Structure 1
Amino acid sequence: MQPMLNGATRVFAIVGDPIAQVQSPAHVTRAFAERGENAILVPAHVTPADLDAFLAGIARARNVDGIIVTVPHKFACFRHCTEVTDRARFLGAVNVMRRTADGWAGDMVDGLGFVGGIRAEGFEPEGKSALLVGAGGAGTAIALSLLEAGVRDLAIHDEDTARRDTLVGRLRERFGGAVRAGEPDPAGYDLVANATPAGMRPGDPLPVPVERLERTTFVGCVITAPAASPLVVAARGLGCRTQVGGGMFANLLGLMVDFLLAGKR
């Protein structure tokens, strides 16, 4: 079904820095059309320095009904929400926002999309050990969802040790010793999850030393461009089962659209 585009079209934006890599505009716009909505998702390249002004300005456009949030704005956009879900409040981050009578409502569903994606590829996280690389917006959500899915041992690594330790401390309040700070060595884990942008640009270093991966380890990655990140390509070369960022997005798509349209007037 082709989307309509006219004066009655409802507008949604996806905001990030950079933004050229996102695949969401076409897929979300198509999902709107499949649900009979006259709505479109457009990309907005906004730097952190301009984010506050952008959000203040876009709020004045009364046909803008929601925002999808990507790197690096997930924590900053949380502060612009007048109401959030319990999940978003715990994480202090959002990746989707919809207009309300009083401002913006926010939720953080990246983690649900990631866990749904690895399950779709045949990996069940309950009772498993996992190494998560990246404690940013997506990483915080994935950490929470993995623990809620029953991961028994979650090690988190981030080059920003203060950010890592803050996340570990927050998760320990709810999950105790099931979560700890870790190193990037992937040996011995059932699951390795990359929640960093490493691999988006040619020449990026790999987030883990792949020669330490074991064939039985499942490797998941959040990167959607390239379609198979260098980490995923290397892991497949070793015989590992994998999830690409597109698999995560396929599970995330419905969750985001459900949230955005829940406030439909």
Structure 2
Amino acid sequence: MSLTISGATRLYVLLGDPLDKARSPEHYNAVFAARGIDAVLVPMEVAPTAFEALITALKHVRNLDGLIITMPHKQAVLAHLDRLGDAAQRVGAANVARREADGSWFGDMYDGPGFVGGLRARGIAAEARRVYMVGCGGVARAMALALAELGVAQLRLHDLDARRAASLAETVRAQYPGVACDAGAADPAQFDLAINATPLGMRPGDPLPFDVTGLAPSTAVADVTTKPEITPLLAAARERGCPIATGRDMFEAQTLLAERLFGWSA
């Protein structure tokens, strides 16, 4: 079935900057067409300086039922939400928002649960394991807290901005005192799971975010990049026999959560 738009079509909007690598429009519009849902997801690339004006205007659109929010707007959107789910409260950011029947807005954060779901889809267990993550930005913050909630034994965080890594480690320890979490560079071969939560791998010629030459086949490697799906890091890890989890795995796990939130589940 093809996607059709009528006067009764419900509207969902993807907000971010940039959006050229976003998978959400192609995925969700295909879901709408396949399931006969009279809805459309429209990407709107908006700079941070214009975000406030746009979202304020969008909330006046009566057939707008929800938002999907990506970087760099996941924190700014909080000021426009009336209620937050548990993950959004812990992380201090949201990447989905639903208009309720009374006109109020509910938001939540699925980056962390989506990452954990992607690992599980690949048969990779993180519970009670030693984890090394490179990158401590917004997505990584959600992932780190989700991994801590899951019950990893150790979480080592590394970022080019050492203060950002130290700050995230402090946040993890404050919320999950039972998890050994610290910051600093490390040899990924000393861990059970090594994660790239940086943009490295999106562009041709990017260096690897960490060295894989010492990894044993038992070490799992995960990457948040969706395009390309198999980044140079994942290709190198796979050549060494390591289990891998892709950004697409994370994205697909998030879509299941979003479909449940918006009532699109099959």
With the length of structure 2 as denominator, give the TM-score of the two structures: 0.91
Q: Which moved more, 1:23-32 or 1:221-230?
A: 23-32
Q: Secondary structure at the match of 2:14?
A: strand
Partner Cα separation in structure 2 for residue 166 and residue 243 of structure 1: 26
Runs of 4+ in 1 over 6 A off after TM superposition: none
How far apart in 2 are the matches of 1:46 and 1:4? 25
Taking a change above 3 Å as real, the CA distance of residues 256 and 211 of structure 1, as seen in their structure-2 partners, is: same
Match of 1:32 in 2: 32
* SS of match in other structure, 1:105: strand
| TM-aligned CA distance change 1:95 to 1:205, over 3 Å | same
Encode CA deviations 1:153-197: one digit per residue, 9 max, x unaligned: 011112223332222222112222422213153121100111222
Structure 2: how far apart are the matches of 1:115 and 1:241?
Answer: 15
Secondary structure at 2:253 match in 1: helix
Change (3 A) 1:127 1:53: same
Structure 1 position 3, deviation (Å): 3.0
Alpha-carbon distance in 2 for matches of 1:238, 1:191: 14
Which residue of structure 2 aligns with residue 106 of structure 1?
107
Number of aligned residue pairs: give it: 262
Partners of 2:99 and 2:128 in 1: how far apart?
39
Structure 2 partner of 1:253: 255
Match of 2:46 in 1: 46
Q: What residue in structure 1 maps to residue 137 of structure 2?
A: 136
Establish whether residue 146 from structure 1 lines up as the match of residue 182 from structure 2.
Answer: no
Compared with structure 1, are the counterparts of its residues 14 and 237 closer, same or farther at alpha carbon in structure 2 (3 Å cutoff)? same
Q: Indicate conservation of the 8 Å contact 2:12/2:39, yes or no.
A: yes
Q: Is the 8 A contact 1:188 1:214 kept in 2?
A: no
Percent of residue pairs bearing the same amino acid type: 43
Letter aligned with residue 30 of structure 1: A
SS where residue 139 of structure 2 aligns? helix
Aligned to 2:213, what secondary structure does the other structure show?
helix
Residue ranges of structure 1 left out of the alignment (5+ in a row):
none
- SS of structure 2 residue aligned to 1:211: coil
2:174 paired residue number: 173
Using the TM superposition, give the Cα deviation of residue 140 of structure 1 relative to its aligned residue in structure 2, in angstroms.
1.4
* Residues 1:11 and 1:238: Cα distance change in structure 2 (over 3 Å): same
| Cα distance in 2 between the residues matched to 1:18 and 1:212 | 35
8 Å CA contact 2:148–2:176 kept in 1: the answer is yes
Secondary structure, aligned partner of 2:105: strand
| Residue number in structure 2 paired with 1:235 | 237
Task: Kindly indicate whether the alpha-carbon contact (under 8 Å) linking 1:82 and 1:102 is maintained by their aligned counterparts in 2.
Answer: no
CA distance in 1, matches of 2:246, 2:89: 28
Checking the alignment, whether the CA contact within 8 Å between 2:9 and 2:40 is kept in structure 1 is yes
What does residue range 1-265 of structure 1 map to in structure 2 within 5 Å? 1-100=1-100, 101=102, 103-176=104-177, 177-183=179-185, 185-261=187-263
TM-score when normalising by structure 1: 0.91
Asked if the contact 2:156/2:182 (under 8 Å) is kept, the reply is yes
Q: Which deviations, in whole Å up to 9, do the C-alpha atoms of 1:67-113 show, x marking residues without a partner?
A: 11112222222233221112211110111111234543210011111
CA apart distance, 1:34 = 4.6
Check conservation: 2:141, 2:168, Cα contact below 8 A: yes
Q: What is the alpha-carbon distance in structure 1 between the residues aligned to residue 80 and residue 167 of structure 2?
A: 21
Q: How far apart, in 1, do the equivalents of 2:6 and 2:83 lie?
A: 31
Q: What is the Cα deviation at residue 242 of structure 1?
A: 0.4
Letter in 1 for 2:120: R
Distance, in Å, in 2 between the alignment partners of 1:244 and 1:219 is 9
Query: Following the alignment from structure 2 to structure 1, what is the Cα–Cα distance between the partners of residues 263 and 202?
Result: 30
Structure 2 gaps, min length 5:
none
- Between 1:61-70 and 1:30-39, the stretch displaced more is 30-39
Q: Compute the displacement of 1:36 (Å).
A: 4.2
Q: Residue 117 of structure 2: SS of its match in structure 1?
A: helix
AA partner of residue 216 (structure 1): S
